[in-house]
Chains A and B, each alone.
Chain A
Amino acid sequence: MLSMALSRRSIWVFHLNTGSCNGCDIEILDALTPVHDVERLGIKLVASPRHADVALLTGPVTVKTLPMVVRALRAMPRPRAVLAIGACACGGGIWHYSYPHLGGFENLRKLLDSMGIVIDVVGYVPGCPARPEAIIDGIIKLVTRKEGGSR
């Protein structure tokens, strides 16, 4: 099933850092470099959200990054998929009690809903940092859902 979903077309991902500590970001990079090499699964990192199928979102969404995050997600074509990577993005992580951020993607999603920006599928990859293997799993799960749901 996995290979079917993936072979249909390649998945372009876009990396969106919303104030993370870099831990998860370097793990995303790790997934792209030779040892994990996600490009073999057709997963390709692109530089613009306009080209992306999936946004890899890390960090607890700090208020200062919020405008960029909103714009980037809005620029993505439908169906939009977001993969919330790391404890920060899933549930605010160790920061969740603090003040200058939204505390993870769930709250951002509520905000986006109120602005009429629909996120079609969301995947969650917990862990601090999330392992590269878990990130690969996450993308595969997300894509399987996305393909299944939209066709």
Chain B
Amino acid sequence: MGSAARVLETLVSSGIDRSRIEVLDDRTLLVEVPRNELRNVVATLRRLGARPRTMAACDDRSRDGVYRLLYVYAFDDLGTTTILSVALDPRKPVAPTVIDVDPALDWYELEAWDLMGIEFEGRKLRRLILPEDWPSNLHPLRKDVSIEEMKKLYKPLATWRGLEIGADSVALIPVGPYHPALHEPELFVLYLRGEKVVDIDYLGFMVHRGIEKLAESMTYDKVPFIAERICGICGYAHSVAYCQAVEHALRIEVPDRARYIRTLLLEVERIHSHLLWIGVACHLLGFDTGFMHTWRIREKVMVLAEKLTGSRKMYGINIVGGVRMDIDSDKLSYAEKVIEELRREVPRLISATISVPQVRKRLSGTGILEKSDATRYAVVGPTARGSGVPIDVRKDHPYAAYGELSFRVPTYSEGDNMARTMVRVEELEESFSIVEQTIDALRKVGGWIANEEYEIVPGRLGIGSVEAPRGEDIHVLITDRTTPYRWRVRAPTYQNLPALRAMLRDCDLADAPLTIASIDPCFSCTDRILILDLRTGGVTIRSVRKVVGG
């Protein structure tokens, strides 16, 4: 209590009009910012040490006649969220760009242009998410654009495009090894001078599936299932974040037991995800033995998840207001047993993989992300904690049952690949301990597992954030009568990828794949690296294996 009041004071004393600030609750402030003051306010917030969390563009024309941008900032040390709300002209929405004062918002502006058609003055705009041949004035997230209409307008184009490509008119696409370990179709362009990386471009968003638009046609209780399928590795974190956003917006009280169950599953997911990552890192180092052993151990976690929830990966047990399945004492004992095994197995595994001198050597001193760059790009999760930025949503903005549990936030200051690896390794230990604590708690805490008596009030704003294995997931949600009015999802990779620029600068080509993987990109297929030789102007496509020389 009171942290919102402190932030309020700070904001007022740095020149923001008190009458424009609304206190939503003791952890959230809403500031109405006029268009022409936006840049100043953003600069002020950054100067005060606020961290940009996300930015959501909303089509509020049917509600109050404007387009709206919601900039979400956090004061992590105070556990407070500050939301800037900027109203834009409904006929021609133009906002001033803020990327010179806050470079972390680069992609957000491009996305707002791409999906919502909001222009930003003073910068170059380009397509970020939609395909290049998408009709230029069709902005999917606008309310007057229906999915049917888009299908009509775009599906024929897709067919046409496919046919044209069948005629071999596109040459630059590598027939591609989709990597066995890093499995998403993404493309990085590395600019090289000799063996040194000069710059990097990311040509991605291959997996845009129109989730946010789709959810606007789904009832509240169906959305958790789609939220979970945003990512097949840390999906449960997304479904919790969505539920928390709705619960925050509608002020729904979640029963204790449900909070503990969510915590338990979030940590199970973290364990599986970190193990997966260690395996992938080994694989990228050409050390497949480590990969295989890590995945052997990980399988136990998958079986545990199935035992607890009924599915190996898509747990599917979240609903707004709680969870829909209880975890009985047999399952708890089983979980306890698995954690015990993992506590024995994981240190052995680490000593045979990460602690091996050859591996240490490859990891240390490569892909360095300085602390200043980490704050500039506002990176999150292990990427931030490896660079000495001690942020963790579980501690800073406690949710589920994390406020009642004791755990450490491992932080390293070196900023290299080794630091990020060690953060994850130590987090595994912490997760084991959190799981054990929740098991104990679940044995004691009884009661309901869901609160289904809530009233849906349209037009409310909610924020849900979760520390997913890769960093902070944050969902912004505005309610409507039966479906979400607007649902903005921000996954951690979105925040971390732009920082690769800083990490790869002047790094050896051989270390690039591992560095890209070290932020644990939720989507990545580093095998598809397009190499542009700046001296000869030649373009070659090499697979990671060749690059690594393995």
The short answer to whether A and B are in direct contact, CB under 8 Å, is yes
Q: Which of B95-103, B294-302, B472-480 touches A?
A: B294-302
In the complex where A21-B232, A47-B543 touch, is A26 in contact with B183 (Cβ < 8 A)? Answer: yes
For B, the interface residue count at a CB cutoff of 8 angstroms equals: 62
Answer whether A115 and B162 are a contact pair too, CB < 8 Å, given A22-B522, A94-B226, A97-B147: yes
Q: Is B34 interfacial (CB 8 A cutoff)?
A: no
> Per-residue CB proximity of A80-102 to B under 8 Å, as 1/0?
00000000000001110111111
A18 touching B185, Cβ below 8 Å: yes
Comparing A4-12, A64-72, A118-126, A143-151, the segment that makes contact with chain B is A64-72
Contact of A21 (CB < 8 Å), options: B162, B181, B229, B293: B229
CA distance A136 to B173 in the complex (A): 30
- Select A99's contact among B140, B185, B296, beta carbons within 8 Å: B140
- Do A22 and B231 contact each other (CB < 8 Å), given the known contacts A67-B162, A131-B312? yes
- Shortest CB-to-CB span from A118 to chain B, Å, is 13
CB within 8 A of A62: which of B180, B208, B291?
B208
- Taking CB as reference atom, which chain B residue is nearest A87? B229
Q: Mark B163-191, 1 if CB is under 8 A from A, else 0.
A: 10110001001011111110111000000
Given contacts A21-B232, A111-B162, contact A64 B205 (CB under 8 A): yes
- Tell whether, in the assembled complex, residue B177 and residue A47 are in contact, meaning their CB atoms are under 8 Å apart: yes
Does B292 sit within 8 A of A, measured CB to CB? yes
**Interface mask (A103-128 → B, CB under 8 Å = 1, otherwise 0):** 00000000100111100000000001
| Docked-complex contact A34 and B151, CB < 8 angstroms | no
Assess whether A114 is in contact with B163, with CB atoms less than 8 Å apart.
yes
Q: Are A26 and B178 in contact (CB under 8 A)?
A: no
Is the Cβ of B147 less than 8 Å from the Cβ of A99? yes
Question: Number of A interface residues, CB 8 Å?
Answer: 57
B403 lies within 8 A of chain A by Cβ: no
Question: Does B173 lie within 8 Å of A30, measured CB to CB?
Answer: no
Cα A17 to Cα B214 with chains together (Å): 21
Q: Is B161 located at the chain interface by the 8 A CB criterion?
A: yes
Contact A34 B183 (CB under 8 A): no
Least Cβ distance of B307 to chain A in Å?
Answer: 14
A138 at the interface (CB under 8 A from B): no
Q: A34-B296, A64-B131 are in contact. Are A24 and B225 (CB under 8 A)?
A: no
- Identify A98's interface contact among B206, B210, B522, CB under 8 A: B210
Closest-by-CB residue of B relative to A33 is B295
Q: Is the beta-carbon distance between A15 and B180 smaller than 8 angstroms?
A: yes
How many angstroms between the C-alpha atoms of A100 and B206 in the bound complex? 10
CA distance A55 to B154 in the complex (A): 27
B268-307 interface code vs A (CB 8 A; 1 in, 0 out) = 0000000010010000000000011101100100100000
Flag if A62 contacts B207 (CB, 8 Å): yes
Task: Report which residue of B185, B299, B312 has the largest number of chain A beta carbons within 10 angstroms of its beta carbon.
Answer: B185
User: Across the interface, which residues of B come within 8 angstroms of A93, CB to CB?
Assistant: 229
Q: Are B163 and A115 in contact (CB under 8 A)?
A: yes
B 207-224 contacts with A by CB, 8 A: 207-211, 213-214, 217
The complex places the Cα of A21 from the Cα of B293 at a distance, in Å, of 24
- Give the chain A neighbours of B163 by CB distance below 8 A: 111, 114-115
Q: Are A17 and B184 CB-contacts (below 8 A) given A62-B208, A72-B175, A114-B163? A: yes
Inter-chain contact A97/B206, CB cutoff 8 Å: no
**Bound Cα distance A97, B209 (Å):** 10
B158, CB-defined interface residue at 8 Å: yes
**Shortest CB distance A73–B (Å):** 10
Asked whether A34 and B295 contact (CB < 8 A) given A26-B233, A26-B313, A67-B170, the answer is yes
Q: How far is the CB of B423 from chain A (nearest CB, A)?
A: 22
Assess whether B130 is interfacial by the CB under 8 Å rule: yes
Whether B165 lies near A21 (C-beta < 8 A) is no
| Residue of chain A at shortest CB distance from B303 | A35
Q: B223 to nearest A CB, angstroms?
A: 10
Shortest Cβ distance from A75 into chain B, in angstroms?
5
A64–B232 Cα gap in the complex (Å)? 19
A126 to nearest B CB, angstroms? Answer: 13
Q: Are B226 and A100 in contact (CB under 8 A)?
A: no
Chain B CB within 10 Å — which of A22, A49, A128, A129 has the most? A22
Per a CB cutoff under 8 Å, which of B207, B299, B313, B523 touches A33?
B299
With A23-B232, A26-B313 in contact, is A67–B210 under 8 Å at CB?
A: no
Q: Which residue of A lies closest to B150 (CB)?
A: A99
CB of A43 closer than 8 Å to a CB of B: no
**Choice from A32, A49, A71 contacting B165 with Cβ under 8 Å:** A71
Q: Of the candidates A30, A66, A98, A131, which one forms a contact with B214 in the assembled complex, judged by CB atoms under 8 Å apart?
A: A98
In the complex, the answer to whether A33 meets B296 with C-beta atoms within 8 Å is yes
Closest chain B CB from A95 CB (angstroms): 5
Chain B minimum-CB-distance residue to A114: B163
Closest to A98 in B: B210
Contact with A along B131-157 (1 / 0, CB 8 A): 100000000100000010011001000
Query: Given the known A-B contacts A30-B302, A62-B208, are A48 and B183 also in contact in the complex, defined by CB atoms under 8 Å?
Result: no
Query: How far, in angstroms, from A126 to B428 measured CA to CA in the complex?
Result: 32
Indicate if the CB atoms of B299 and A30 lie closer than 8 Å. yes
- CB-CB under 8 A from B230, the residues of chain A are 21
Kindly list chain A residues whose C-beta atoms are within 8 Å of the C-beta of B519: none
Contact of A19 among B150, B185, B214, B312 (CB under 8 A): B185
In the complex, the 9 A-B pairs of residues with the closest C-beta atoms, listed nearest first = A23-B232, A22-B232, A33-B295, A47-B177, A25-B183, A98-B210, A115-B166, A21-B232, A99-B150
Give the interface of A toward B (CB within 8 A).
14-30, 32-35, 45, 47-50, 59-60, 62-68, 70-72, 74-75, 93-95, 97-102, 111, 114-117, 128-129, 131
**Other 19 A-B pairs with CB < 8 A, given A17-B178, A47-B179:** A15-B183, A17-B185, A22-B184, A23-B314, A30-B302, A33-B292, A60-B209, A63-B131, A64-B131, A64-B206, A68-B173, A93-B229, A94-B225, A99-B210, A100-B208, A111-B159, A117-B166, A128-B314, A129-B232
**A–B complex contacts, Cβ < 8 Å, 27 sampled:** A17-B185, A21-B229, A21-B230, A23-B229, A23-B233, A25-B183, A25-B184, A26-B183, A29-B180, A30-B299, A33-B279, A33-B295, A47-B179, A47-B543, A62-B209, A63-B161, A66-B165, A67-B161, A67-B162, A68-B175, A95-B226, A99-B210, A100-B130, A100-B209, A101-B209, A111-B162, A129-B312
